[in-house]
Amino acid sequence: MGFFSDLFESEEDRKKREKKEQQEAIATIAGGAALLGGILFGVKALSDNQIRDKILILGETQAGKDTLFHILNNEGFKKDTVATAAHKVNDVKLKSDYRINIINTSGSESTYSDTEKAKELDFNILCYVFNAENYNKNMNIKYGLQNAIEEAKFKGAEAFAIGTRGKNINNISEIENDINKLGIKSKIFELSDNPREEIIKFLFSGKKI
């Protein structure tokens, strides 16, 4: 209101004006709070939808890499799987708000160059999969474990080793301890039991999932 209008403003009009100004101020503050809340909520929603971890799976051919992928992808155990011919990046939802990328590779010597390309991708977890039945028979497994350890160190990633066909092994603890001494966390599973929760706990221990 103008200067002269203020001079002749009645007490009742003054109270109405002040009440209106107060209401407008409250509305402005509330609107700002709602906007801020929307921004914060949007940030939270976005963070929940982000990829939390990226896993590179390596290992010998027919060790169980594809089966491991299907289990983590909540597809259960599949007896017959199509072998991976070239590396693939798969978006997997472990829980409702926890998504990861799984980089699955072929263990075939003929796709060596493709596996090397997969190693150049961004990942923070490296998982080496091996047939536990062949641990003391196939020297390539120990060679692969050593390479996995070095690759993880180079990338600054966590290294894990998952043994498969556990139901056929009598000395599981002995093999796991032997591999742990190399500097890589190891656990042997029977994938036909579809041990999804156990595998998740092993690979993501310490993470809030």
Pairing of strands 98-104, 125-131: unpaired
Summarised one tens digit per residue, pLDDT across range 25-77 is 655 554 554 444 444 444 333 344 689 999 999 998 899 999 999 999 999 99
Whether the per-residue pLDDT at 143 is higher than 70: the answer is yes
Three-state secondary-structure class, residue 175: helix
Domain-by-domain residue ranges, the chain? 3-47, 51-203
| CA 138 vs CA 131, 142, 143, 144, 163: distances in Å | 9, 8, 9, 10, 13
Q: Which amino acid is at 119?
A: K
Question: In this structure, are residues 125 and 56 in contact, taking their beta carbons and an 8 Å threshold?
Answer: yes
- Written as one letter, the residue type at 164 is T
Residue 101 φ/ψ, nearest 5 degrees: -105, 135
- pLDDT tens, residue by residue, 152-206: 999 999 999 999 999 999 999 999 999 999 999 999 999 999 999 999 999 998 8
51-203 homologous superfamily: P-loop containing nucleotide triphosphate hydrolases (3.40.50.300)
